[in-house]
């Protein structure tokens, strides 16, 4: 019975996911600065590198010889995390207001996670590719993709487990308060 009550919230989340996904196909680097700029700033802090923003290319780090652009934005991770967070939280709330608030909260939480994961992924790629450049000359793109897949999947799983445990723990403690 409770699942049927959640369907409208899930449909809203899926509808927003589809709209955002469609919007991404039309977006360029300028449209994605809300994801690219904080990631670039954190990568710069971790590496000591400074970037130059080129609207048609992205954030160029000359010292590292990398560009952080639309493909590095983490947009797909963001909207996938949003769906995950919405699903996990809606099913644990009984009040309508709480369920409604899960959608913007999930967007913000997913955004913060995306900035962290993106920065981690790019930083790991820089470290690994620096160490393997002489070994895998023409295979760097494979290493880059493998790091991205591994990092994103690992953080999605960790986020799922952590959020589920936190919500269950909070509900369990609320029953005994």
Tell me: the pLDDT tens digits for 116-131?
Answer: 999 999 999 999 887 8
- The average confidence (pLDDT) of the chain is 91
Coil, helix or strand for 53? Answer: strand
Does this model's pTM top 0.85? My answer is yes
Coil, helix or strand for 52? Answer: strand
Q: Supply the pLDDT for residue 1.
A: 43
pLDDT in tens, 24-69: 999 999 999 999 999 999 999 999 999 999 989 999 999 998 999 9
Give yes or no for a contact between 93 and 167, defined as CB atoms under 8 angstroms apart. no
Which phi and psi (to 5°) does residue 54 adopt? -120, 115
Q: Supply the pLDDT for residue 176.
A: 57
């Amino acid at each position: 019975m409770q699942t049927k009550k959640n369907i409208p919230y899930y449909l809203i989340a899926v509808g927003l996911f589809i709209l955002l996904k469609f919007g991404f196909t039309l977006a360029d680097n300028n449209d994605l600065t809300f994801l690219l700029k904080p990631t670039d700033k954190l990568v710069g802090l971790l590496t000591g590198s400074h970037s130059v923003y080129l609207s048609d290319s992205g954030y160029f780090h000359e010292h590292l010889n990398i560009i952080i652009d639309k493909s590095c934005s983490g947009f797909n991770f963001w909207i996938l995390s949003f769906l995950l967070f919405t699903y996990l939280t809606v099913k644990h709330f009984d009040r309508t207001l709480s369920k409604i608030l899960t959608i913007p909260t999930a967007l913000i939480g997913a955004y913060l996670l995306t900035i962290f994961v993106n920065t981690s992924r790019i930083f790991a790629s820089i470290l690994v590719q620096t160490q393997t450049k002489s070994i895998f000359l023409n295979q760097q793109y494979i290493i880059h993709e493998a790091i991205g897949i591994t990092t994103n999947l690992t953080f999605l799983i960790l986020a799922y487990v952590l959020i589920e445990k936190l919500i269950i723990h909070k509900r369990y403690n609320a029953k005994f308060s």
